[in-house]
Amino acid sequence: MKIKRNILLNPGPSTTTDTVKMAQVVSDICPREKEFRSIMAPMRKDLVKIVHGEEDYTSVLFCGSGTICIDVCLNSLLAADKKAMVINNGSYSQRAVDVCKAYGLPLIEVKQPIDTTPDLSIIEETLKENEGSVGYVYITYHETGTGLLNPVKEVGALAHKYGAFFITDTTSAYAMIPINVYDQNIDFCMASAQKGIQGMTGLSYVVGKKSIIEESKNYPMRSYYCNLYMQYEFFEKTGEMHFTPPVQTIYAAKQALIEYWKEGEEKKWARHQRVMNAIRAGVDRLGFKEALNRDVQSGLVSAITYPDDQNWDFERIHDYCYERGFTIYPGKIESKSTFRLCALGVIDEDDIVEFWKVFEAGLNEMGVAIPVKYE
């Protein structure tokens, strides 16, 4: 079977291999069978190993998109008498704030600019003012809306200094940027199979400290379906997910992990960087400007400012590229019109070279001047 290869430059789901796609085609199976259960234990170990956790870390799988892990961590890991502290500097950390509000959690929101590294002294001041009452500090590892990389290690150190756990949303960094939970002071991180491991949508996982999960047994149970301890306990007792798992997505994830280990952490990161260098080369050649300075970027997302040209039309250039197998994505910055090109998935620099040829032809057809203009 020949499957048309699309180049996805959106921030996940990303381009996958045919072997991962085909891994979903299996005989029908009841997920309560031993045969299916036997996939899960090694998968849980692999997911911990990706961020170099040892026996003191575990992974807990959920059926849902990446946001389910934000929900699970925030609602499950807060003791009754503690406050949540969220560093808010982008649309994904805003999502975390919204989750806290939906649960009515006592919240300390530290708002920071979206286009530059947060001010650690403000974070420390806030922790000092609330010493003893902060349950956890939460930050997004890589803000996928802008491409901003946060100072995770430093914020984690501050959280621990003031006696709080540290949670970071690594959904758009995990299995791409090398992460070490010990070096980076991470108690909890998370991801989704459709992003870093280059699998399918519908499976997400929290990787975190066992001792804290066990302690959270005594915390208020704020959700039935999205409770971390309950899902963890069920896994430990039975080796299964509590409720029906995304069967075919799990088969795809199993294959994706085989391919992850085969490529290797460093080589994979080098490939993503190669892709980003090719993206940046095209940005520079056509005269585009990015919303963020490169020295604060993750190297996985480029947020590009719309040019000032009356013929520029994002929808049109999107459709032009889409019809030719390339998917580009709108931005997520309120104050500025941007679009995004992301270096996720099974793509390499040659794909980006081809993409820029198509994109440039699209600009020509629209009558956009090259190099593009800014006022």
Ligand X SMILES: *Cc1c(COP(=O)(O)O)cnc(C)c1O
Residues that bind ligand X (CB under 6 A): 11-12, 65-67, 92, 140, 144, 169, 171-172, 192
Question: Counting beta carbons within 10 angstroms of the beta carbon of residue 101, is it exposed (0 to 12), middle (13 to 18) or buried (19 or more)?
Answer: exposed
Beta-bridge partners for 60: 206
What's the min distance (Å) between Cβ of 375 and ligand X?
A: 32
CB of 172 or CB of 216, closer to ligand X = 172
Residue least distant from ligand X (Cβ): 66
What's the min distance (Å) between Cβ of 145 and ligand X?
A: 8
CB of 24 or CB of 65, closer to ligand X = 65
What's the min distance (Å) between Cβ of 8 and ligand X?
A: 13
CB of 85 or CB of 203, closer to ligand X = 203
CB of 66 or CB of 208, closer to ligand X = 66
Distance CA 319, CA 302 (A): 19
What's the min distance (Å) between Cβ of 241 and ligand X?
A: 18
What's the min distance (Å) between Cβ of 157 and ligand X?
A: 21
What's the min distance (Å) between Cβ of 66 and ligand X?
A: 3
Asked if residue 90 lies in contact with residue 145, where contact means CB atoms within 8 angstroms, the answer is yes
Cα angle, residue 120 at apex, residues 211 and 164 outer, rounded to 5°: 20
Distance CA 213, CA 219 (A): 10
CB of 143 or CB of 162, closer to ligand X = 143
What's the min distance (Å) between Cβ of 11 and ligand X?
A: 6
What's the min distance (Å) between Cβ of 120 and ligand X?
A: 20
CB of 113 or CB of 220, closer to ligand X = 113
CB of 150 or CB of 227, closer to ligand X = 150
Instruction: Give the position of tokens 């001041």.
Output: 125
CB of 169 or CB of 351, closer to ligand X = 169
CA distance readout (Å), 87 to 100, 107, 150, 174: 12, 11, 10, 19
Handedness of CA 304, 306, 311, 314 (dihedral sign): positive
Question: Counting beta carbons within 10 angstroms of the beta carbon of residue 24, is it exposed (0 to 12), middle (13 to 18) or buried (19 or more)?
Answer: middle
Q: What is the DSSP string of 52-72?
A: T--TTEEEEEEES-THHHHHH
Cα angle, residue 110 at apex, residues 104 and 115 outer, rounded to 5°: 125
CA distance readout (Å), 181 to 208, 222, 256, 308: 9, 27, 22, 43
DSSP 8-state symbol, 341: E
What's the min distance (Å) between Cβ of 316 and ligand X?
A: 26
**Secondary structure (3-state) at 137:** strand
What's the min distance (Å) between Cβ of 290 and ligand X?
A: 18
CB of 66 or CB of 156, closer to ligand X = 66
Q: Which two tokens stand for residue 217?
A: 């047994």
Q: Give me the helices (H) in the chain, please.
A: 18-22, 34-49, 67-76, 91-103, 120-129, 152-161, 210-215, 228-238, 247-263, 265-285, 314-323, 349-366
CB of 47 or CB of 363, closer to ligand X = 47
